[in-house]
């Protein structure tokens, strides 16, 4: 009870006596329910729920959230039911506890229903994100729960520590960042790094410790200089040293490939003032006192971050020629920067509308509703990583409104952000008054104008990630939905055309559509073709799936016995034999293959659709073979038809080299109609690599067709 009394002493003074009574009852119920239960660390279990409540109290969360934090594991781990809690604490607290409990149950169900832990984690993340739109306080409790679990991670086995730390760094820390909760974000990141990169964590911590006294003395001198100057200028401000966090230093060292001493914000000063006008006045004063470092200024007041964060950031060369970073913000900005969306619950019952809170909830609802349509958990998590968690760019509409997009976004992404119909009818774009291609990557500060047609729809090329037209999952899903709404017959026809073209390019056109549909887990070929037609299956997925599928036994009608451990080729039912690849058809990993027993030279491996194999009469000499562990490159002949021009072969060779592929032979022949044919032999590792290089060659200027040569 002593720990709980200490907890009460730290609570927000705005909490009423009724709130205090609620929390006392919640703790008493939790303590009785968890009596006798301990964590792996050996401490009483109720200490965990109290620690979660303390984390949320530091964020000034409301009494209902704190009570739910104290009770969040009761229905799951004890005999006390949710209905018992509802009867004692009311609907609001019970609903929050139920939300957290459901998330825990989802985690367990996900692990039992999904084939891999990664799939289970993806499904869990999907449910967590969708839950935010119902009551974001559920996620606040979940984040606090994760933070305390990270603080006590040493009690778990090493492999579990690694898995939980990685999940924290991938999902929970970015989620805290997106909600603007800096206090949780930096702690989650530092704790995750401590377990994922312990040596690097200790090295940076040691460097910080070794230089701490020198750094603090230097900062105190700088702070004194700034305070005196601001006092002379009549500006009231609080000037402090900014705390350093190990993960942010680690990330900047990695991203900028710099040593510890070259990171500017190892030394940091924060200046908090009363008004926005004072922020810019202080910035001008700092820049007149010390020389600013080019490229190190960010105005997040004029262009706030997506999580509502606002501040001015600059870096200057200070006294003794040492660089340091300065953050300048108002007190309201500071409150949002530290506590993010949590700051708004402190004044839950205020009469005045909180527009920033409403903007955040609107964002959550928009993102959540879009993602409800994404059923595949892995695809869902990838969309989070592409749309929600990455670095952002801030661009302007022609009217001057700010649009927040992930880094790498294009005019097509911008168009779909503005309105679905604008996206569908997008035919061109102007950036800063200049026409740009639709795969142009937008930069912060760009002004974007979309040129539209009166009617029409998107093109299927937009769904090809290799062409770079779309970055965001939002735009990609809208394009898919458009194609899904088209006539089924049209989608099937489009899908058939795409599939035939892809198989022809790979030299696999003999494979039945029904067989490929089964690989993608479709009951019939028409449904599979329709899915390709409306963009659910991208062309590059076909090669990847086929490469995986050829090692599955059910695709081979030959009898299967334990194969020998032969590198490269495995011969079914026979001991180690000499094998070589047939030059007539040049099979590569991913191709369906069959062996032919020769007289005196071992087994020659052919593609199953090789004409020489189809015409063979001595069929008893055929033997089942399959691809084993690949350690070498395989020759593949390709044919390129193009308009003849200077530098064509050079450009082809450059693309091949970029893909890390050797070209062992090349022959160019020109024709009277000003076209040229390039026949080349590439040393390919697998069918996916072949597909990638064919796609890149096909997008080359003046190229008409690229395909794999048949035997």
Give the per-residue pLDDT at 564: 34
Q: How many domains does the chain have?
A: 6
How far apart CA 709 and CA 711 sit, in angstroms, is: 7
Least confident among 17-21, 240-244, 315-319, 353-357: 353-357
> Contact, 666 vs 675, CB < 8 A?
no
| Distance from C-alpha of 328 to C-alpha of 651, rounded to nearest angstrom | 50
Question: Other CB atoms closer than 10 Å to residue 194's CB: what's the count?
Answer: 20
Q: Is the pLDDT higher at 110 or at 90?
A: 90
The greatest distance separating any two alpha carbons of the chain, rounded to the nearest whole angstrom, comes to: 101
Q: What's the pLDDT tens digit per position in 219-236?
A: 889 999 999 999 999 999
- Indicate the SS3 state at residue 459: coil
Of residues 651, 661, 658, 664, the one with CA closest to residue 703 = 651
Tell me if the pTM is above 0.75.
no
User: Which residue segment(s) compose the domain that 647 sits in?
Assistant: 634-708
**pLDDT classification of 377: cutoffs 50, 70, 90:** very low
Say what the pLDDT of residue 239 is.
92
Helix axes of 539-549 and 687-698: crossing angle, nearest 10 degrees: 160
The pLDDT score that the predictor gives to residue 113 is 39
Residue 175 clears pLDDT 80, i.e. is over it:
no
Contacts of 180 (CB under 8 A, 6+ apart): 307, 308, 309, 336, 337, 339, 340, 341, 360
375 — pLDDT class (breaks 50, 70, 90): very low
Half-sphere exposure of 589 (CA within 13 A, CB side): 22
Q: What is the per-residue pLDDT for 121?
A: 52
> Which segment of 59-68, 155-164, 345-354 scores lowest on mean pLDDT?
345-354
Task: State the Cα–Cα distance between residues 181 and 139, nearest whole angstrom.
Answer: 12
Rounded Cα gap, residues 433 and 435, in angstroms: 7
Q: Note whether residue 428 is domain-resident.
A: yes
What are the tens digits of pLDDT across the range 415-453? 998 888 899 999 999 998 899 999 999 987 788 999 998
Per this entry, what is the length of the chain?
Answer: 711
- Looking at residue 102, what is its pLDDT? 63
Q: For 179-188, 247-256, 572-581, 601-610, which range has the lowest pLDDT when averaged over its residues? A: 572-581
363 domain-assigned: no
Residue 354 included in any domain: no
Same domain, 310 and 437: no
pLDDT of residue 362: 53
Kindly state whether residue 372 falls inside one of the protein's structural domains.
no
- What are the φ and ψ backbone dihedral angles of 404, each rounded to 5 degrees? -100, 120
Q: What is the CATH number of the domain that holds 703?
A: 3.30.70.260
Burial of 5 (0-12, 13-18, 19+ CB in 10 A): exposed
Which of 574, 605, 627 delimits the end of a domain? Answer: 627
- List residues with catalytic annotation: 76-77
Place of tokens 């900028």: 256
Q: Is residue 231 part of a domain?
A: yes
| Residue 505 sits in the same domain as residue 576 | no
Q: For residues 366 and 50, which has the higher predicted lDDT (pLDDT)?
A: 50
Residue 463 included in any domain: yes
Could you say which of 595, 627, 659 is where a domain stops? 627
Residues 577 and 681 placed together within one structural domain of the fold: no
User: By percentage, how much of the chain surpasses pLDDT 70?
Assistant: 78
Q: What does the pLDDT read at residue 429?
A: 92
Question: Does residue 491 contact residue 533 with C-beta atoms inside 8 Å?
Answer: yes
Mean of pLDDT over the chain: 78
61 and 191 housed in the same domain: yes
pLDDT (tens digit, 9 = 90+) per residue, 507-559? 766 667 887 888 887 878 888 888 888 777 877 677 667 655 543 333 333 33
Establish if 268 belongs to a structural domain. Answer: yes
Structure tokens at 500: 């035939």
CB 628 within 8 A of CB 568: yes
Query: In this structure, are 298 and 413 located in the same domain?
Result: no
Read off the pLDDT band of 566 (50, 70, 90). Answer: very low
Dist CA 195 CA 188 (whole Å): 11
State both tokens at 137. 């306080």
User: Tens digit of pLDDT for each residue in 659-670?
Assistant: 888 888 888 888
Question: Is it the case that residue 678 has pLDDT exceeding 50?
Answer: yes
Same domain, 46 and 164: yes
Q: Is the dihedral of CA 178, 184, 190, 196 positive or negative?
A: negative
Are 480 and 495 contacting, i.e. CB atoms less than 8 angstroms apart? no
Confidence of residue 341 (pLDDT cuts 50, 70, 90): low
Reduced to 3 DSSP states, what percent helix, strand and coil does the chain have, rounded to the nearest 5? 55, 15, 30
* pLDDT value for 150: 92
What per-residue confidence (pLDDT) applies to 553? 34
In this structure, the answer to whether residues 157 and 216 fall within a common structural domain is no
258 band by pLDDT with thresholds 50, 70 and 90: low
pLDDT for res 570: 62
* Residue that is last in its domain, among 149, 169, 196: 196
Query: Between residues 523 and 197, which one has the greater pLDDT?
Result: 197
Q: pLDDT band at residue 382, thresholds of 50, 70 and 90?
A: low
* Cβ atoms 378, 123 nearer than 8 A: no
> For position 498, what pLDDT does the model report?
84
CATH number at residue 476: 3.10.20.30
Q: Reply yes or no on whether the pLDDT at 349 is more than 60.
A: no
pLDDT bucket at 70, cuts 50 / 70 / 90: very high
Identify which has the larger pLDDT, 279 or 357. 279
Evaluate whether residue 383 is within a structural domain.
no
Q: Do residue 184 and residue 228 come from a single domain?
A: no
What confidence category does residue 346 fall into, taking pLDDT thresholds of 50, 70 and 90? very low
The CATH number assigned to the domain holding 93 equals 1.10.3210.10
Contacts of 337 (CB under 8 A, 6+ apart): 180, 182, 309, 310, 311, 329
With beta carbons less than 8 A apart as the criterion, state whether 554 and 548 touch. Answer: no
Is the pLDDT assigned to residue 291 strictly greater than 50?
Answer: yes
The CATH number that applies at residue 287 is 3.30.460.10
Examine the domain organization and report whether 475 and 505 are in the same domain: no
**Can you tell me the distance from the alpha carbon of 57 to that of 65, in angstroms, rounded to the nearest whole number?**
9
Q: Are 492 and 458 members of one domain? A: no
Q: pLDDT value at position 114?
A: 39
Residues 425-434: tens digit of each pLDDT: 999 999 988 9
Q: Parallel, antiparallel, or unpaired for β 634-643 and 675-684? A: antiparallel
Residues 300 and 222 in one domain: yes
Task: Name the band, by pLDDT with cuts 50, 70 and 90, for residue 391.
Answer: low
Q: Are 411 and 443 in contact (CB under 8 A)?
A: no
Residues 605 and 462 in one domain: no
């Amino acid at each position: 009870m002593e720990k709980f009394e200490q907890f009460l002493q730290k609570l927000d003074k705005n909490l009423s006596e009724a709130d205090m009574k609620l929390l006392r009852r919640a703790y008493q119920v939790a303590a009785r329910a968890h009596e006798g239960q301990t964590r792996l660390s050996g401490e009483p279990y109720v200490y965990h729920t109290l620690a979660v409540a303390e984390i949320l109290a530091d964020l000034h969360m409301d009494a209902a959230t704190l009570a739910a934090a104290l009770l969040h594991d009761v229905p799951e781990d004890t005999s006390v039911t949710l209905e018992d809690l509802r009867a004692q604490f009311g609907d609001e607290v019970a609903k929050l506890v139920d939300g957290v409990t459901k998330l825990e149950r989802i985690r367990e169900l996900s692990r039992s229903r999904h084939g891999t832990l990664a799939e289970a984690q993806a499904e869990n993340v999907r449910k967590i994100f969708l839950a935010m739109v119902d009551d974001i306080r559920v996620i606040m409790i979940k984040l606090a729960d994760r933070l305390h679990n990270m603080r006590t991670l040493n009690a778990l086995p090493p492999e579990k520590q690694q898995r939980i730390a990685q999940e924290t760094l991938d999902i929970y820390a970015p989620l805290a960042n997106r909600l603007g909760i800096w206090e949780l974000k930096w702690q989650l990141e530092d704790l995750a790094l401590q377990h994922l990169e312990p040596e690097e964590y200790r090295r940076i911590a040691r460097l910080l410790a070794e230089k701490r006294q020198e750094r603090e003395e230097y900062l105190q001198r700088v702070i004194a200089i700034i305070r005196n100057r601001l006092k002379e200028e009549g500006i009231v401000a609080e000037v402090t040293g900014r705390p350093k966090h190990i993960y942010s230093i680690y990330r900047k060292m990695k991203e900028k490939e710099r040593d510890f001493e070259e990171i500017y914000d190892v030394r940091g000063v924060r200046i908090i003032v009363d008004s926005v006008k004072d922020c810019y006045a202080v910035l001008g004063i700092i820049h007149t006192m010390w020389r600013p470092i080019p490229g190190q200024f960010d105005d997040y007041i004029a262009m706030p971050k997506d999580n509502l964060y606002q501040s001015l950031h600059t870096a200057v060369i200070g006294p003794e020629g040492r660089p340091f970073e300065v953050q300048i913000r108002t007190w309201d900005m500071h409150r949002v920067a530290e506590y993010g969306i949590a700051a708004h619950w402190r004044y839950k019952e205020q009469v005045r509308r909180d527009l920033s809170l409403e903007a955040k909830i609107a964002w959550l609802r928009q993102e959540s509703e879009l993602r409800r349509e994404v059923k595949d958990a892995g695809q869902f998590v990838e969309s989070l990583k592409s749309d929600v968690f990455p670095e952002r760019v801030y661009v302007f509409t022609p009217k001057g409104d700010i649009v927040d997009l992930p880094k790498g976004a294009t005019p097509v992404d911008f168009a779909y952000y503005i309105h679905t119909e604008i996206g569908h009818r997008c035919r061109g774009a102007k950036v800063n008054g200049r026409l740009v291609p639709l795969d142009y990557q937008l930069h912060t500060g760009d002004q974007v104008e979309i040129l539209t047609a009166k009617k029409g729809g998107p093109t299927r090329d937009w769904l090809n990630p290799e062409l770079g037209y779309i970055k965001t999952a939002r735009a990609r899903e809208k394009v898919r939905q458009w194609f899904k709404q088209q006539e089924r017959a049209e989608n099937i026809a489009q899908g058939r055309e795409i599939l035939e073209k892809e198989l022809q390019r790979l030299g696999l056109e003999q494979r039945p559509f029904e067989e490929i549909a089964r690989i993608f887990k479709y009951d019939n070929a028409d449904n599979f073709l329709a899915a390709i037609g409306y963009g659910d299956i991208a062309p590059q997925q076909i090669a990847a799936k086929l490469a995986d599928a050829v090692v599955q036994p059910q695709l081979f009608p030959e009898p299967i016995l334990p194969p020998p451990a032969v590198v490269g080729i495995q011969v079914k039912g026979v001991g180690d034999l000499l094998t070589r690849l047939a030059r007539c058809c040049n099979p590569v990993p991913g191709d369906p293959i069959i062996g032919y027993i020769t007289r005196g030279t071992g087994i020659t491996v052919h593609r199953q659709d090789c004409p020489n194999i189809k015409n063979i009469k001595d069929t008893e000499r055929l033997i089942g073979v399959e691809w084993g562990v690949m350690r070498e490159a395989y020759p593949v002949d390709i044919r390129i038809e193009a308009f003849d021009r200077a530098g064509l072969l050079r450009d082809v060779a450059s693309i091949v080299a970029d893909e890390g592929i050797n070209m062992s032979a090349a022959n160019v022949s020109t024709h009277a109609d000003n076209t040229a044919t390039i026949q080349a032999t590439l040393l390919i590792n697998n069918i996916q690599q072949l597909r990638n290089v064919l796609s890149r060659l096909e997008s080359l200027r003046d190229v008409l067709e690229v395909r794999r040569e048949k035997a």
